[in-house]
Amino acid sequence: MRRLFFWEFARTSWQYDIVVALILAFIFLTPKAFFKDQPRAVSVVQIPGAPRESVFLIDPSLMRDVALNSRGQRAIELVQKRTGKRMQLIRLETVTDPDEEVTCFMAFFKP
């Protein structure tokens, strides 16, 4: 176990090859859900959307102290500040992870 933990195998040995294979198997065969890794918006980021529609990811920290019924207006302000354009909000969706924690808000706009 000590040799395995401190990786004391010669580079051309079969033990070295087995340890490398185990590491690669862990990296490539572990499901993404195991790490609970979700994309997070840095602040306000535009992502590709449907034609004639602009989609923005909004970091949840920017909406933390905003009342539920005022989130739409806050999303409009944040996107206008980011783009410098006036757009009409179509809908605002809350994106959550499997643990029901808010990861971001998706704002759909019509230019």
Instruction: Write out pLDDT tens, residues 93-103.
Output: 999 988 888 88
**pLDDT per residue as tens digits for the range 22-32:** 999 999 999 87
Q: Exposure of 56 by Cβ count < 10 A (0-12 exposed, 13-18 middle, 19+ buried)?
A: buried
- The pTM of the full predicted model, rounded to 2 decimals, is 0.60
Strand ranges, E, within the chain: 44-47, 54-58, 88-96, 102-110
Contact of 90 with 53, CB cutoff 8 Å = yes
Helix (H, G, I), strand (E, B) or coil at 24: helix
What is the percentage of the chain residues whose pLDDT exceeds 90? Answer: 37
Instruction: Pick 45 or 75 by higher pLDDT.
Output: 75
The tokens describing 13, both together, are 């040995």
User: Is the pLDDT at 90 greater than 70, yes or no?
Assistant: yes
Residue range 33-41: average pLDDT?
Answer: 67
Q: What pLDDT shows up at residue 89?
A: 94
